[in-house]
């Protein structure tokens, strides 16, 4: 295996013997000057093929132990679910886990009232989410709320659907592009469609569109947080409402306050990375 680019001390972009590009995790493989031939393949702990280039920057933003946690969760999921996962699932899941821990440390709790619906529609994924949550809490010595099991299950479900995106009933890409243009117009920014931040936001929008297909009904007691965010982030609220109106007119998708709250959280996260609040 030829190491062609250092990502960090323990992660590198490589070319295997079949001339395929691969992201490799291994102790110290990023130390030597690249390019070089790695003869001792026992140093490689994990390899990832078919990784979207958007996710390479994520490797320097998230602790390696979080990636390892996400990888073990996905390994376990593959033993329980006989479906193809998108190759990027470890990276999107690691990003979610890292974000969940950050929210936990800031004592920011958001209720996810999808448990009953997800369990009914995707019982296997929900059981994996619950085991994954217990594992995260044990390894990190924290106490993430039970609702995070639902979020993990949804990441797995979304990865399954993304692997078969050609089966979508309507043109998701056209809808998503219009949503992004709404955000750009309201905040006066240009969002890089090739950035990881865009890919991260994309995952949430896929959830929104998929919930329409499955007709999941949502109720919650997040109204206090919702009202608080409406006042603190008026522009994000206005943006979420405009997106909601667009979805209502385009695909007859009506967002309730619960979904508007989640949309605002993701708009804030995207726009913070794009420098909207600087």
Three-class DSSP category at 92: helix
Which residues lie closer than 8 Å to 243 by C-beta, 6 or more apart? 179, 182, 183, 255, 263
* pLDDT of 116: 67
142-146, 173-177, 203-207: the lowest-pLDDT one: 203-207
C-alpha span between 167 and 161 (Å, rounded): 9
Per-residue pLDDT, averaged over 220-225, amounts to: 67
Domains of the chain from N-terminus onward: 1-49 (2.30.24.10), 52-167 (1.10.1790.10), 169-273 (1.10.1790.10)
Confidence of residue 239 (pLDDT cuts 50, 70, 90): very high
Query: Closest Cα partner for 260 from 216, 180, 196, 204?
Result: 204
**Percent share of the chain, pLDDT over 70:** 83
Per-residue pLDDT, averaged over 211-217, amounts to: 49
More confident residue, 89 or 58: 89
pTM above 0.75, yes or no: no
20-24, 113-117, 167-171, 229-233: the lowest-pLDDT one: 167-171
Per-residue pLDDT, averaged over 69-79, amounts to: 94
């Amino acid at each position: 295996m030829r190491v062609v680019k250092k990502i960090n001390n323990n992660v590198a972009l490589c070319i295997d013997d079949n001339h395929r590009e691969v992201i490799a995790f291994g102790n110290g493989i990023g130390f030597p000057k690249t390019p070089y031939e790695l003869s001792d393949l026992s140093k490689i702990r994990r390899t990832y093929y078919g990784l979207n280039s958007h996710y390479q920057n994520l490797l320097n933003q998230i602790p390696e132990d979080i990636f390892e946690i996400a990888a073990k969760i996905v390994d376990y999921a593959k033993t329980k679910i006989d479906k193809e996962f998108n190759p990027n699932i470890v990276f999107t899941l690691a990003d979610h886990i890292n974000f969940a821990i950050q929210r936990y440390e800031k004592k920011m709790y958001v209720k996810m009232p999808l448990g009953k619906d997800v369990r009914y529609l995707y019982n296997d994924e929900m059981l994996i989410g619950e085991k994954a949550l217990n594992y995260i809490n044990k390894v990190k010595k924290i106490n993430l709320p039970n609702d995070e099991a639902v979020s993990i299950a949804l990441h797995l479900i979304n990865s399954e659907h993304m692997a078969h995106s050609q089966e979508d009933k309507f043109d998701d890409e056209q809808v998503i592009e219009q949503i992004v243009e709404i955000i750009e117009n309201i905040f006066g920014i240009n969002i890089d469609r090739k950035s990881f931040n865009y890919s991260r936001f994309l995952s949430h929008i896929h959830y929104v569109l998929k919930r329409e297909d499955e007709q999941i009904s949502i109720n919650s007691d997040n109204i206090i947080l919702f009202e608080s965010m409406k006042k603190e982030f008026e522009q994000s609220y206005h943006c979420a409402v405009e997106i909601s109106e667009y979805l209502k007119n385009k695909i007859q998708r009506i967002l309730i306050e619960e979904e508007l709250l989640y949309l605002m959280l993701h708009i804030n996260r995207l726009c913070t990375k794009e420098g909207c609040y600087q």
